């Protein structure tokens, strides 16, 4: 089972199209910071804010 989250953040996302699929990569990762100590930095033990969320619904072990 696969869940796709169409969240481009900016027009056309990264502008990179994946092969000949016609799907572009998202740019939502630019919400994160690599600067230590910032509120949304990627550091061990932290849970940076993210708006991306998927829901997979199951019923008796089968996709519903």
Of 26, 22, 20, 35, whose CA–CA distance to 5 is shortest?
Answer: 26
Burial of 16 (0-12, 13-18, 19+ CB in 10 A): exposed
pLDDT at 60 over 90: yes
The residue with tokens 């519903």 is: 64
| Integer Cα distance of 32 and 54 in angstroms | 19
| Integer Cα distance of 45 and 48 in angstroms | 10
pTM for this one?
0.38
pLDDT computed for residue 6 by the predictor: 65
Half-sphere exposure of 43 (CA within 13 A, CB side): 9
pLDDT computed for residue 12 by the predictor: 63
pLDDT in tens, 13-54: 677 787 888 777 666 666 778 888 888 888 888 777 666 677
């Amino acid at each position: 089972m696969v869940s796709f989250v169409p969240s481009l953040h900016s027009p056309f996302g990264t502008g990179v199209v994946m092969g000949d699929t016609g799907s572009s990569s998202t740019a939502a990762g630019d919400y994160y910071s690599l600067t230590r100590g910032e509120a949304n930095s990627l550091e061990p033990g932290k849970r940076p804010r993210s708006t991306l969320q998927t829901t997979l619904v199951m019923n008796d072990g089968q996709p519903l």
